[in-house]
Amino acid sequence: MILRTTPTAEVRLRKSGGGVFEIMVDGGLRYSKKATGRFPTDEEVLGTLV
């Protein structure tokens, strides 16, 4: 989804444990499943890019 809207983005998946799901952009945390207790919506994922 991110690469469709921002083809020049570098997207990496890092394996972790404990159900952690976080989105980091330019070294900054933009979304944390641990903090919210849920997975982000598509709109929330795309909102992390701005």
The whole-angstrom separation of Cα 18 and Cα 48 is 23
Confidence band, pLDDT 50/70/90 cuts, at residue 11 = confident
What is the per-residue pLDDT for 38? 94
Q: Are 39 and 33 in contact (CB under 8 A)?
A: yes
Reported as a single tens digit per residue, the pLDDT across 17-45 is: 888 889 888 888 899 998 999 999 999 98
Name the 3-class secondary structure at 37. Answer: coil
- Domains of the chain, by residue range, sit at 2-47
The whole-angstrom separation of Cα 9 and Cα 16 is 22
Q: State mean pLDDT over 3-26.
A: 84
Whether pLDDT at 14 is above 90: no
Confidence band, pLDDT 50/70/90 cuts, at residue 12 = confident
